[in-house]
């Protein structure tokens, strides 16, 4: 999939796009080269992992799609939207909510952008046997959900009040919070002091 990718109209392939992106990124933040190598290895694991790790390439190629898709009406979009960018949190009054939980690439984009990217991630997951739906059913559910979200104001699911059917899914053994924290605790501790600016921003939140 990666090696056979065609060059775009600017003559850039995935390797050139990645080098360009990482060069730009290094001008914005200090890169940890070891972590970057781990990311490159993870990108090779499967097509879904590759898609998750290469939003910069998606953004370059989306504009080359048919004008009806790539130049549709702009809205505030998530940007890097895919199946794994949905999760749970506790809202302001402690209720368990489910919805989109990753907004660090949010930007005004054609409304089609999020729909196409989310549908693409679903199709890739189906091809990898990670999602047991037909492609047509998955795309139909995404479109129905998008329309419903517009009609209801884009509210997250509140588990236990409006969407009780969802609760057993969240209680599966694979979603055990203890496993998540166990993995987190095994990571090496940061030995440098937290920068004063970062501490101030965190405490402000």
Average pLDDT over residues 180-195: 88
Residue with the bigger pLDDT between 172 and 90: it is: 90
Task: Assess if residue 106 is contained within a domain.
Answer: yes
| 100-109: average pLDDT | 92
The per-residue pLDDT for 9 is 66
pLDDT by residue (tens digit) across 67-77? 899 999 999 99
Higher per-residue pLDDT: 169 or 16: 16
**Token pair 């796009």 in the structure block, residue:** 17
Instruction: Please check whether residue 178 lies inside any domain of the structure.
Output: yes
Residue 8 located in a structural domain: no
- Cβ atoms of residues 60 and 16 within 8 Å: no
Phi, psi of 113, deg, nearest 5 = -60, -55
Residue of 38 and 159 predicted with greater confidence: 38
Q: Which domain holds residue 54?
A: 14-204
pLDDT on residue 5: 57
> Average pLDDT of 9-31?
90
On the question of pLDDT at 50 being above 90, the answer is yes
Count of structural domains, the chain: 1
- Flag whether 7 is in a domain: no
Q: Is residue 2 part of a domain?
A: no
Per-residue pLDDT for 14 more than 50?
A: yes
> Rounded to whole angstroms, how far apart are CA atoms 121 and 134?
13
Is 5 a domain residue? no
- DSSP characters over the chain: --TTPPP-TTS--HHHHHHHHHHHHHHHS---HHHHHHHHHHHTS-HHHHHHH-HHHHHHHHTTS-HHHHTSPEEEE-SS--GGGEEEEE-TTS-EEEEE---TT-EEEEHHHHHHHHHHHHHHHHHTTSS-S-HHHHHHHHHHHHHHHHHHTSPPEETTTT-GGGHHHHTSGGG-HHHHHHHHHTSPPP-SPPPHHHHHHHHH-
pLDDT, position 2: 44
Nearest to 83 by CA among 119, 54, 58: 119
Classify residue 60: in a domain, yes or no.
yes
Q: How many residues does the structure list for the chain? A: 205
In tens, the pLDDT along 134-154 reads 999 999 999 999 999 899 888
Q: Which of 21-30, 78-87, 184-193 has the lowest mean pLDDT?
A: 184-193
Residue 44 lies in a domain: yes
Q: Is the pLDDT of residue 170 over 80?
A: no
Residue with tokens 């990217």: 117
Per cent of the chain over pLDDT 90 is 60
For residues 164 and 22, which has the higher predicted lDDT (pLDDT)? 22
- 3 confidence band (pLDDT: 50, 70, 90): very low
Mean pLDDT of the chain: 88
């Amino acid at each position: 999939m990666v090696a056979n990718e065609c060059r775009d109209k600017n003559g850039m392939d995935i390797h050139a796009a990645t080098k360009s992106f990482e060069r730009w990124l290094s001008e914005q933040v200090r890169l940890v080269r070891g972590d970057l190598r781990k990311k490159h290895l993870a990108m090779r694991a499967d097509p879904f992992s590759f898609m998750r790790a290469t939003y910069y390439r998606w953004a370059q190629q989306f504009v080359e799609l048919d004008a009806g898709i790539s130049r549709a009406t702009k809205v505030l979009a998530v940007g890097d939207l895919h199946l794994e960018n949905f999760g749970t949190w506790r809202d302001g009054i402690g209720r368990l909510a489910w919805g989109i939980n990753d907004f660090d690439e949010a930007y005004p984009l054609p409304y089609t952008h999020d729909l196409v990217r989310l549908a693409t991630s679903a199709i890739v997951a189906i091809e990898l046997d990670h999602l047991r739906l037909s492609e047509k059913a998955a795309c139909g559910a995404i479109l129905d959900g998008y329309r419903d979200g517009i009609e209801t104001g884009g509210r997250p699911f509140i588990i236990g009040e409006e969407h009780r059917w969802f609760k057993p899914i969240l209680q599966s053994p694979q979603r055990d919070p203890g496993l998540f924290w166990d993995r987190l605790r095994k990571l090496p501790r940061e030995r440098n002091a937290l920068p004063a600016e970062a501490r101030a921003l965190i405490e402000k939140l």
